[in-house]
Every structure is written in structure tokens, then in C-alpha cells.
Amino acid sequence: MAKSITDEDLNLLDELGVETGPVKSSAHSAREQRIVAGFEEIERFVEEHGRLPQHGENRDIFERIYAVRLDCLRASAECRDVLMGRDPRGLLGFPDGTGESSVLREDAAAYQLRAPVNVEPSDDELLAALGADEMDGADITELKHVRPAAAKRAAEEVAQRAPCEDFDKFKPLFVQVEKEIRSGLAQTQAITAENRSIGEHDFFILNGVTLYVAEMGEPLKTTAGEVDRRLRLVFSNCTESNMLLRSLQRAFYDDPSARRVVRSKGVSQLTFGYEWDLDDVDAGTIYVLRSKSDHPFIAENREVIHKIGVTGGDVRTRIVNAKKDATYLLADVDIVATYKLANINRTKLEHLLHKFFASARLDFELKDRFGFEVTPREWFLVPLPVIEEAVQRLIDGTISNYYYDTKSAQLVNL
């Protein structure tokens, strides 16, 4: 039979500092205790960092959990009741007299409630809110909640970008490249293992954003014995990065939609003294023809009536049967100028030239050899020197800044 505790025993325990009163039950349920513990973790974070936890893939996973948890606590009336009197910093609602700093007020204001939530979430629910899946009984050796290396590299690359302070200097380059792509004077090509070379002043499209290689640093030796370079990359969204050349090449590999921008360096008139590069691909010829027709109107204006076209074949072969073809005004023609093309979409280029001189298109009808009325669409009332100037504007990429004025018969700056 157990011996009862005497007053002498109680006095002895009291002298030793041992609590002898009845065990007090907790004032909070297990759920309420978990709410309090979760909020205290947020308070410790704020005390340590001087700011609220924030959302974002570039944030630590625990900070992101705290940010989601704080949103949920703010949205839940039950949680706010449990935490009443435990929020000296005013993290849940900024009661009067809390004395929190203005910085903390502004920081918290930036992270107001996204959607009503009536319960404090579990850790699994927090992970789900961050886009992570549960283990679902998977083998412990199977990694979960881990981003692929490519995704992490992409996030790191974006995080390393900084605002480009002198973007105004580069903006005209991006505007010009965009115009060239729309007009067909520049093309985009898929990046493969064979054409991942990167040079200064090159343009690329990476993850949907156009980038410009503004500078290439001195060669650097890597641990693998390879040569690398530090780049200055300027992006069309007004940011810049100093990533390494090989890191950019890996980024091309990670983005299947990455493209190289091939500009119109190959548009050249041989008589202007331009040289072909070894890697240029022949895309055809711009040709300018003058009609030998004896029609009164043609004969009177022969020196300013020209056919402008683009062909992928030989121009002389194309005009052999000109006098039988209404396209050539049913007459022989003289070739007055040719311009070789490389690395360009000749169909789009021809359309661009015809659109540029549309206001001077020859409005002329004649019957073809079958007696049908036809209206040739490639003849224009434009002096040859003006056509030559337009081609020059194509070469230097400034044609989009001009229009053809039919009254003065000149190119006029917009």
C-alpha cells in the first residue's frame, strides 16, 4: 500500500524548488498550440531579418513557407482570435499603440491577403501552396521538391540580372532589330550544337527576351582547361547581366526555343565594293529592269520606269522570253542593276521593296497574247538613283526611317 505524502514531505519538496501543486492543463488545444508555434516562427524570422518573409522562387524555402503561413493567419478569424495579445509587432493587423516601425508597416502592406483562408494550414498544405507535391508513398531515394538543374540555372541567371543604367544607348539597337525581323531583313535561326558560337554585337532570343552581346571580356582559363569569357549582356527588358560565355551557351541548351538573330549583312550591291563572307549563303538577286517597249507612254518615260524584282535564279535566264510575257510589258528589257543577296528571305524582301515604292506603282493596263487585260504590278515610276539609294538604305538598315516622295522623286526622312 502506497505511503501518503505528509506535510513534512511537502515542506521538503518546497525547499528544493519542486512544484507540488496540481498539474495545470494547457489553456490551448493541440491545434491552437500549433497556430501559436507557427506564428512564433514568423516572429523569430522578423526579429532576425528586420522584415516580413517574402514570396518568390529566389527566396529560401522556409521564408516562402513563413510568407504563405502569414497570409493564411491574417485571413483566418480563428487564428487571429488565438493570437490576440501575442502580436506586439502588429504583424496581423497593426493595432494602435504597437509601436512597430514604419518600414515594417510598409513591408507588411506589400503582402496583403491574396484569398480568404479560414484555417491555419499544415506543413504539407504550405508546400502545396508553394507548388510542391506530397511524397505519395514514393521511395525515399526519389527526390521530391527539388527543381531540375536547368530550372535552377535559369532562376539564378534571372536573379543575377541588374537594371541597365545606360539602356537608352542600346534601345535603338533593339528597335532596329525588331523592325528588321518584321520586314524580313533579319531572320531568327534555331541554335544547335553546331552554331552556338557567340560574338560581340550578336543578338539572340532567350526565354522570349531579346539579348545583345555588348562586350566580351578577356579569355579566362577554366578548371577543365577550357577558355571562357565574361560577357556584358543587355536585355530588351532594360536589364543586364555579366554571365560567362559558357553559361550563356548552357542557357541556349536549356531553352529549346532559343534563337539566333541573323541580320541583313548579306544584302549588298557588288558595284558598291562589298565582299562576300565565307559563311554567307546565296539567297538570290535583286534586279532592276528597263523596258524596250515602243508604247508611247513607256517610250516617253523610259528613263524613270523600272521593274523591281527578286529572283533566286539567273536574271538573264528569267528574261529570255520577256516579249511574250505581260509581266515584262510584252517587250524585251534591259538589266540596269543587280544586287546580290545572302542570308535573307527574298520573298519578304521583294514585298518590302514593292510596299516601299507602292505610291509610285505604274498604273498601266495591256492585253496579253491571249487577249486578256492585265495590270503588271512590279513596275514603278522611280529614277534609278533613287532605287540605288533605297538598296543602300537596306544595307545599312535605315530604310525604315525613310519614305518615297513622288512629288520630289526622292527619299525623305520621316
Per-residue model confidence as pLDDT tens for the chain (414 residues): 445 556 666 666 565 555 555 544 445 677 888 888 888 888 888 888 888 888 877 777 778 888 888 888 888 888 888 888 888 888 886 443 333 433 344 444 443 333 334 445 555 555 555 554 444 444 444 444 454 555 545 544 544 678 999 999 999 999 888 877 776 667 788 887 777 789 888 999 998 899 999 999 888 876 666 778 899 999 999 999 998 888 898 888 888 888 888 875 444 333 333 344 444 445 678 899 999 999 888 999 999 999 999 888 888 888 988 988 888 888 999 999 888 776 667 787 888 889 999 999 988 777 777 777 778 889 999 999 999 899 888 877 788 888 999 999 999 987
Contacts of residues 148-153 at CB distance under 8 Å and 24 or more positions apart, as own/partner, are 150/254, 153/247, 153/250, 153/251, 153/254
Domain boundary among 74, 96, 129: 129
Radius of gyration in angstroms for the set of CA atoms belonging to the chain, rounded to a whole number:
37
Instruction: Copy the grid coordinates of residue 382.
Output: 522611280
Domain boundary among 129, 144, 171: 129
* Residue 17 domain-assigned (yes or no): no
Q: Mark whether 353 and 381 lie in a shared domain.
A: yes
- Identify the CA nearest to 73 among candidates 47, 112, 101, 109: 112
Domain count, the chain: 3
Domain boundary among 262, 293, 321: 262
- Identify the CA nearest to 211 among candidates 181, 249, 250, 238: 238
- What are the φ/ψ torsions at residue 175 (nearest 5 degrees)? -60, -45
**Residue range(s) defining the domain that contains residue 86:** 30-129
* Residue 135 domain-assigned (yes or no): no
Q: Mark whether 280 and 252 lie in a shared domain.
A: no
Beta-bridged to residue 233, according to DSSP, are 213, 241
Quote the Cα angle for 354-358-364, to 5°: 100
- Look up cell 539609294; give the residue: 389
- Identify the CA nearest to 51 among candidates 107, 131, 132: 107
Q: Mark whether 97 and 162 lie in a shared domain.
A: no
Residue type present at position 286: I
Residue 127 has a pLDDT of 58
Please tell me the distance from the alpha carbon of residue 109 to that of residue 306, in angstroms, as a whole number: 68
DSSP classification of residue 319: T
Q: Mark whether 278 and 380 lie in a shared domain.
A: yes
Residue 56 has a pLDDT of 78
Q: Mark whether 320 and 400 lie in a shared domain.
A: yes
- Three-class secondary structure of residue 234 per DSSP: strand
* Residue 146 domain-assigned (yes or no): no
Q: Mark whether 196 and 63 lie in a shared domain.
A: no
* Residue 403 domain-assigned (yes or no): yes
Instruction: Copy the grid coordinates of residue 273.
Output: 565594293
- Dihedral angle, C-alpha 71, 76, 82, 86, nearest 10 °: 30
* Residue 305 domain-assigned (yes or no): yes
Q: Mark whether 288 and 206 lie in a shared domain.
A: no
Please tell me the distance from the alpha carbon of residue 4 to that of residue 10, in angstroms, as a whole number: 11
Residue 359 has a pLDDT of 92
* Residue 7 domain-assigned (yes or no): no
* Residue 401 domain-assigned (yes or no): yes
Based on the number of CB atoms within 10 Å of its own CB, is 288 exposed (0-12), middle (13-18) or buried (19 or more)?
buried
DSSP classification of residue 257: T
Residue 357 has a pLDDT of 93
| Residue pair 231/243 in contact by the 8 Å Cβ criterion | yes
Beta-bridged to residue 334, according to DSSP, are 290
Q: Mark whether 209 and 242 lie in a shared domain.
A: yes
Residue 366 has a pLDDT of 77
Please tell me the distance from the alpha carbon of residue 267 to that of residue 255, in angstroms, as a whole number: 30
- Look up cell 497574247; give the residue: 369
Please tell me the distance from the alpha carbon of residue 199 to that of residue 214, in angstroms, as a whole number: 9
| Residue pair 263/186 in contact by the 8 Å Cβ criterion | yes
Helix (H) or strand (E) holding 128, with range, is helix 123-129
Q: Mark whether 282 and 394 lie in a shared domain.
A: yes
Residue 174 has a pLDDT of 92
Q: Mark whether 245 and 274 lie in a shared domain.
A: no
pTM (predicted TM-score): 0.39
* Residue 137 domain-assigned (yes or no): no
Q: Mark whether 221 and 274 lie in a shared domain.
A: no
**The length of the chain, given as a count of residues:** 414
Helix (H) or strand (E) holding 135, with range, is none
Q: Mark whether 258 and 298 lie in a shared domain.
A: no
- What are the φ/ψ torsions at residue 314 (nearest 5 degrees)? -85, 130
